[in-house]
Amino acid sequence: MDFSSDNRMGVNPEILEALHAANKGPAGAYGHDDMTRSLDQVVGDFFGTKVSAFPIISGTAANCLPIAASTPPYGGIACSEGAHILRAECGAPEFFTNGSKMLPVAAQSGKMTADALAALLAAYPASNTDTTVPAVLSLTQVTERGTVYTLDEIAALTRLAHERGMTVHMDGARFANALVTLGCTPADMSWRAGVDVLSLGTSKNGTICGEVVVFFNPDRAENFRRYVKRAGHMMAKQRFVSAQVVAHLANDLWRHNARNANAVARRLHDGLARQEQVTILHKVEANIMFVALPAACVQALRAQGFAFHTVGQDAVGQPVVRFVTSFLTTEGDVDHLLAAISKACA
Ligand SMILES: *Cc1c(COP(=O)(O)O)cnc(C)c1O
């Protein structure tokens, strides 16, 4: 039973059917196919505004290519100190931007605060021509700690960034899970809150590989194709990536999947909260949670075949583990894990 990450899961049958349906005859290459041509409209309808949308096969590239298109090499990329782009992309932002500077901002439970961002920006004044120019603000929604920014929190951060002329990027690897949590529209959580460009992830929520870079101001996408091509991410057979995205957004498949992941995470959270030897470390607002457990309990769970990541230790030296639920995790899976923890911790 696997609680390591939602990217370990398979895919919805609807996605496989969409691939099968896209596999008919020849089609234009490099995005010049009907499916990819429809993306601006399909994704635009989803967001209730005009967009430029580009299918990309990895989240790392879907983050770093639009960031690269939004900063000069002497620019800086502000992100939370725990951001995926800072910690888990092997320097890809620096690589794709020709060495722009990462500007980590202090965060609480994964969320950057407006005060911390303001302090960072003050340390890089526009008047100083010898210093890095803050060019991009990148926010992750759901955050890497499993929390979710409220719409007001996003708006407060994007306002500060826009006052400095920065581009706001959102890493939406789990955008659907956050939407389900907030119960708002995709528009509310993106362009209406000041997001300029979004990396909309779908692979953790039911596709094989179907991330989308969404520019909410199509003018800004003018040279984006060149960034994609130059980086070796211009797939010839893009129709198969686009088909996954279209199927994912159709019939609320994204919502159905994310609802399940969040609901079983809530069930796991509630069960863990009842166990005395378990400490839940951050608010559980989507499908990721961090908990401290006795080392013997962690060992017992591993011996029984449960898979999950250990991510460090808490203040008293207990292992901290991360549990992630997915669109395929069942209530039965969660109850099984809870029973095993209850027994191992007893
Ligand atoms: C998984 C993930 C990504 C994308 O990762 P890839 O493995 O490159 O697809 C980006 N951001 C966050 C927060 C993630 O969890």
Side-chain half-sphere CA neighbours of 83 within 13 A: 28
Ligand 1 site, residue 322, Cβ cutoff 6 A: no
Nearest CA to ligand 1 atom 15: 173
**pLDDT score at 345:** 85
CA-closest candidate to residue 95, choices 232, 238, 241:
232
* pTM exceeds 0.95 for this model: yes
Residue 185 three-state SS:
coil
- Mean pLDDT of all residues in the chain? 97
Spatial separation of the C-alpha atoms in residues 11 and 209, rounded to whole Å: 10
pLDDT of residue 85: 98
Q: Rounded to the nearest 10 degrees, how much is the dihedral formed by the CA atoms of 185, 41, 225, 236?
A: 120
Q: Best of 5, 171, 202, 309 to mutate for ligand 1, by most ligand atoms within 8 A of CB?
A: 171
The whole-angstrom separation of Cα 95 and Cα 43 is 28
DSSP states along 87-127: HSSTTHHHHHTTSPEEEEE-EETTEEPHHHHHHHHHHS-TT
Q: Are 253 and 148 in contact (CB under 8 A)?
A: no
Q: Is the CB of 173 under 6 A from ligand 1?
A: yes
User: In 178-262, at which residue ranges do the beta strands (DSSP E only) sit?
Assistant: 197-200, 211-215
The answer to whether the CB of 282 falls within 8 A of the CB of 273 is no
Domains annotated on the chain, with CATH: 11-253 (3.40.640.10), 255-345 (3.90.1150.10)
| Rounded-to-integer distance, Cα 171 and Cα 139, Å | 6
In this model, does residue 178 exceed pLDDT 90? yes
Please state, in angstroms and rounded to a whole number, the distance separating the CA atoms of residues 236 and 275: 52
Tell me the CA–centroid distance for residue 203 and ligand 1, in Å. 9
Residues 62, 74: Cα–Cα separation, whole Å? 21
The CA distance from 321 to 312, in Å, is: 7
Kind and range of the H or E run holding 79: strand 75-80
- Each residue of 2-19: pLDDT tens digit? 999 999 999 999 999 999
Ligand 1 contact via 82 beta carbon (within 6 Å): no
Between the CA of 59 and the centroid of ligand 1 the distance, in Å, is 5
CA 3 – CA 326 distance, rounded (Å): 8
- Among candidate residues 237, 250, 172, 169, the one with its CA nearest the CA of residue 211: 172
Share of the chain above pLDDT 90, in %: 99
With a 6 A CB cut-off, is 153 part of the ligand 1 pocket?
no
The single-letter code of the amino acid at 207 is T
What's the confidence (pLDDT) of residue 145? 98
Of 250, 288, 293, 256, the closest CA to residue 275 belongs to 293
- Residue 138 in contact with ligand 1 by CB distance below 6 A: no
| pLDDT exceeds cutoff 90 at 25 | yes
Which residue CA neighbors atom 1 of ligand 1 most closely?
173
Q: Indicate the helix (H) or strand (E) that contains 289.
A: strand 288-292
CA 141–ligand 1 middle distance (angstroms): 11
- β-bridge pairing 279-280 and 288-292: antiparallel
User: Does 346 have pLDDT greater than 90?
Assistant: no
Check if 288 has its Cβ closer than 6 Å to any atom of ligand 1.
Answer: no
Q: Is 32 helix (H, G, I), strand (E, B) or coil?
A: coil
Q: Is 262 in the pocket of ligand 1 (CB under 6 A)?
A: no
Look at residue 187 and tell me whether its pLDDT is greater than 90: yes
Measured between alpha carbons, how far is residue 272 from residues 2, 37, 264 in Å?
17, 47, 12
DSSP 171: E
pLDDT in tens, 288-320: 999 999 999 999 999 999 999 999 999 999 999
User: Which tens digits make up the pLDDT trace of 77-128?
Assistant: 999 999 999 999 999 999 999 999 999 999 999 999 999 999 999 999 999 9
